[in-house]
Amino acid sequence: MKIGVPMEPKGETRVAIVPGSMKKLVKSGFEVIVEHNAGVAANYHDSDYEEAGAKIADRKTVMECEIIISIRMVDVDELSKDQVIACVADPFRHPEKVNDCINSGITLLSMDMIPRRLSRAQSMDVNSSQDNLAGYKAVLLGASHVPRGIPMMTTSAGTVRPAKVVIMGSGVAGLQAIATAKRLGAIVYASDVRKSAAEQIESVGGRFIEVDGMDDFEDESGYAKPLTPEFIQKVNDTVCEVASEADIIVTTARIFGRPAPITVPKSAIDNFKSGAVVVDMNADVGGNCEMTKQGEVFTTDNGVIIVGTSNLPGTLANTASMLYSNNLTTFITSLVDKENGFQISEEDDILVGAPEGNDFHVPGMGGVLICKDGEIHPKQTRLGGVL
């Protein structure tokens, strides 16, 4: 069976499969066809792919393969009935693309829907692998824009006190951001709506910002629940008060399938000190900072620098591509049966979600299988509600 790896659209520097994955894919029986120059932006060249066992071809040839592996969703008009595409489709924000796949009889596997709590899913979890890099890069961006040093320095000219960093949210991205800021020598404070996150924050060197009335606001799938407006205000007030003296503030709050919640209102920015840097990790989905401009870095009237860089993993394209490729290679090869070859099985919890009664079952949510044979998968009732 042939796997096609197309070039990503303009603005996406990553590539879905890297040469290092060829050995495992070929051993599993796949023939991999990569679009000419698909990996150049991530420093993977056609010659690297050919040496590893892949074939290089034009886009038309690539898009005729039985399985397409990409990062962004491709144009469905390039696909044909019964093809399979595995990508990050973001189906709740792009239901029209799901409908296009349903109407065209295309099987859509959306990797951002991975049941991340299943232990077997961890090696396939593209959300975690890319968020990890994003958290790391967010702190580096903050450090590059802040007009002062980060660690404490004792010199003959005087002592430089360590910078103060506030990380808003402590999921995968947040924990990596905390650890990175700590490694740079900063004093790090961090918040989360999940009270259980305090121990994780402290384990990587952060100081937990507790809000009165905080509970464990986490849903069955491991994502943060939507909060009441009253509690959001309370969190904003408490955390932004701590952040008012910070040098770098990194916002990470992301709610699955919904616009990013505002955690830094304009009123808070007005009280931040001049020279402070706000790195908004969710500029692509509305932003956590009320003043964020997607894809821009600008300075407010009171001297606060707001970084709205989109696609943070893409700024580390080589490493991000390698991790994504590892995730997808593990996933695709797991669907190969020795006797029957590549199979989309209704018994696979990664594909369809955990069965009812299982500790990992999430009502209304299936796995990565979104649609097949012209129909949305019956377990995707939450998604069905927005189609």
Residue at which a domain ends, from 287, 310, 333:
310
Determine the pLDDT at residue 72: 97
Q: Is residue 385 part of a domain?
A: no
Please check whether residues 203 and 345 belong to one and the same domain: no
Beta-strand relationship, 153-155 and 107-110: unpaired
pTM of this structure: 0.94
pLDDT at 223: 56
- Choose one of 310, 337, 356: the last residue of a domain: 310
144 and 93 within one domain: no
What pLDDT score does 227 carry? Answer: 67
Q: Tell me how far CA of residue 340 lies from CA of 69, 225, 330, 344, in angstroms.
A: 21, 41, 18, 11
**117 and 154 assigned to the same domain:** no
Handedness of CA 28, 57, 16, 343 (dihedral sign): negative
Whether 14 is covered by a domain: the verdict is yes
| Residue 380 annotated in active site | no
Q: Tell me if residue 122 is catalytic.
A: yes
CA distance 244 to 249: 9
Domain-embedded: residue 30? yes
* pLDDT exceeds 60 at position 94: yes
68 part of a folded domain? yes
**In total, how many domains does the chain have?**
2
Residues 145 and 288 in one domain: yes
Considering the domain boundaries, does residue 381 fall inside one? no
More confident: 228 or 59: 59
Among 223, 280, 324, 380, the one annotated catalytic = 223
Specify whether 238 is located in the same domain as 94. no
What's the rounded mean pLDDT across residues 234-239?
A: 87
Catalytic residue among 46, 112, 125, 247: 125
Nearest by Cα to 31 from 62, 73, 70:
62
- Bridge partner residues of 128 (DSSP): none
Per DSSP bridges, beta strands 164-168 and 187-191 are: parallel
One domain, residues 226 and 90: no
Q: State whether 28 and 100 are in the same domain.
A: yes
Confidence bin at 355 (pLDDT 50/70/90): confident
Q: Are residues 333 and 293 in the same domain?
A: no
Residue type present at position 188: V
**Is there a domain that residue 139 lies in?**
yes
Indicate the range of 18-22, 139-143, 208-212, 221-225 predicted with least confidence. 221-225
Residue 360 pLDDT: 75
How many angstroms separate the CA atoms of 152 and 167, rounded? 19
Amino acid, single-letter form, for residue 362: V
Tell me if 382 is assigned to some domain: no
Q: So what's the pLDDT on residue 373? A: 95
pLDDT band with cut points at 50, 70 and 90 for residue 224: low
Structure tokens at 371: 């649609």
pLDDT of residue 218: 61
Is residue 125 among the annotated active site residues? yes
CA-CA distance, 146 to 29, in Å (whole number)?
Answer: 50
The H or E element that residue 61 is part of is helix 59-62
| Domain-located, residue 49 | yes
Report the share of the chain in percent with pLDDT over 90. 81
pLDDT digits (tens, 9 = 90+) for 169-214: 999 999 999 999 999 999 999 998 777 789 999 999 999 998 877 6
Q: Are strands 336-337 and 341-342 parallel, antiparallel or unpaired?
A: antiparallel
SS3 87: strand
Say which of 21, 28, 110, 128 is annotated catalytic. Answer: 128
**Taking 90 as the threshold, does the pLDDT of residue 357 lie above it?**
no
The span from the CA of 65 to the CA of 292, in Å, is 40
**pLDDT (tens digit, 9 = 90+) per residue, 6-56?**
999 999 999 999 999 999 999 999 999 999 999 999 999 999 999 999 999
Q: Which CATH number fits the domain that encloses residue 38?
A: 3.40.50.720
For residue 226, what pLDDT band results from cuts at 50, 70 and 90? low
334 flagged as catalytic? no
**pLDDT over 70, % of the chain:** 96
- 195 and 106 housed in the same domain: no
Which tokens belong to 296? 């821009």
Q: What is the DSSP letter of 358?
A: S
Buried b (16+ CB within 10 A) or exposed e, 32-54: bbbbeebbebbebebebbeebeb
| End-of-domain residue from the set 310, 327, 356 | 310
Of 369, 386, 173, nearest to 192 by C-alpha is 173
Tally of residues, the chain: 387
For residues 147 and 244, state if they share a domain: yes
User: Does 223 qualify as catalytic in the annotation?
Assistant: yes
Instruction: Identify whether residues 252 and 138 lie together within a single domain.
Output: yes
Q: In which domain, by residue range, is 224 found?
A: 133-310
Q: Are residues 190 and 234 in the same domain?
A: yes
For residue 358, the model assigns a pLDDT of 79
pLDDT tens digits, residue range 274-294? Answer: 999 999 999 999 999 999 999
Nearby residues of 95 by Cβ (< 8 Å), 6 or more positions away: 383, 386, 387
When pLDDT is cut at 50, 70 and 90, the band that residue 225 belongs to is low
Q: Which of 14, 116, 194, 254 is catalytic?
A: 116
Determine which one of 48, 117, 122, 348 is catalytic.
122
Q: What separation in angstroms does the CA of 118 have from each of 200, 276, 325, 349, 351?
A: 20, 40, 20, 8, 12
Q: Which of the four pLDDT bands, split at 50, 70 and 90, describes residue 219?
A: low
